[in-house]
Amino acid sequence: MPVSARLALKIMLVALAVSVGSQASAAGDAGRGKELAYTCLGCHGIENYKNVYPTYSVPELGGQHASYIVAALKEYRSGERSHATMHEQAQSLSDQDIEDIAAYFAGTELKAGTSLNGTPPQKVQQLCVACHGINGIGVTSDYPDLAGQQADYIARALREYKQGDRKNAVMPTFVAGLKDDEIDEIAKYYSQQRPPLEVVHRRVSIFESK
């Protein structure tokens, strides 16, 4: 892709992010969110926990942007993201509950590292860096950090965007032409970046709240 085209694409996506961010900003109470997140930690608080079917790693949420978590939970609640368990859980949450849970998981948001782990694949450079950065750090808080996320989860999410199981104004355009091996390559690269997202361990969170 020519440099001028890449620059135009970056400008368009950043402008879109600012627009979306005004609707999905997070301003929650992390202390209350810690209590509400007890149920969430049944899956997201266990190292290497797998979704039953289809089988893939449950995403790590520790350090993720709060505003992205807010948007994701609302999408599960509305059905824009297809996942029966998450839809059921999110339906029980008010907007304020979602804000509070997001604030708890976000903690201190990730900072970009000083060096890359591995060489960015061509498709990462062409399609991903304008939103998710070369290090897997979202260029705004509305784009998820991918650094250190489970590779099979990233790959699953990309395939869901491609298949239409996740509704999004931007992502389908970028994933439509990706082959399976290219999806896996993108996922592997971002999973290896540091500093990583983390699991908020259930056993720690429960006892700290007592």
pLDDT in tens, 65-93: 999 999 999 999 999 999 999 999 999 99
**Average pLDDT, integer, range 106-112:** 66
Q: How would DSSP label each residue in the chain?
A: --HHHHHHHHHHHHHHHHHHHTTS-----HHHHHHHTTTTHHHHTSTT-EETTTTEEPPP-BT--HHHHHHHHHHHHHTSB--HHHHHHHHT--HHHHHHHHHHHHSSPP---SS-SSPPPHHIIIIIHHHH-TTS--SSTTSPP-TT--HHHHHHHHHHHHHTSB--SSHHHHHTT--HHHHHHHHHHHHT-SSPPB---HHHHHHHT-
Tell me the whole-structure pTM to 2 decimals.
Answer: 0.82
The yes-or-no verdict on residue 8 having pLDDT over 60 is no
How high is the pLDDT of residue 129?
96
**Average pLDDT, integer, range 119-137:** 95
From 5-19, 78-92, 103-117, the region with the lowest mean pLDDT:
5-19
